[in-house]
Homo-oligomer: A and B are copies of this chain.
Amino acid sequence: MPRPELLETFPNPYADRSYEIHMTCHEFTSLCPLGGVESDASELALLKGGAPDFGIITITYVPAAKCIELKSLKLYLWSYRDAAVFYERAVNRILDDLSAAVEPRWIQVVGDFNVRGGIKSVITASRGTKA
């Protein structure tokens, strides 16, 4: 399941100015909730129908006092690998976990998920004011 405790930060070296950090992870994968119920999924569950989902997670933020440490972000995103979550929850949860860890001036998370049933989904959520 998602493990926000993995997220680490470092002090923003240019905290006196407003600048933007944009990160893209092309290798995000989670599991589709079984029977519409979000849960922890085991290998057994995977083979019974909790199909893997794949997508691209894009994070853009204007740091305040802290920046997200890149390697810890990678580990945090890996922690979705065995989690069964809806797209809407994944994107909003990443937004909330990062907001809590980094307390940015503004942050946006976009989840661009692979085609399922012939339909592609992109979810976009943000917090704070960009200006």
Q: Which A residues contact B (CB, under 8 angstroms)?
A: 3, 6, 10, 12-14, 17, 19-27, 29, 36, 43, 46-47, 51-52, 54, 67, 70-71, 73-75, 78-79, 81-82, 86, 88-89, 91-92, 114-127
Contact = CB atoms under 8 A, between A and B. Distances in A.
A101 to B, nearest CB: 16
Contact of A22 (B24, B67, B123): B123
A78 B119 CA distance: 12
Contacts of A75: 47
Contact of A124 (B22, B82, B116): B22
Closest CB pairs A-B (n = 9): A19-B125, A22-B122, A20-B124, A24-B120, A27-B118, A14-B92, A74-B117, A27-B54, A25-B119
Nearest to A10: B36
Nearest to A49: B75
A29 B17 contact: no
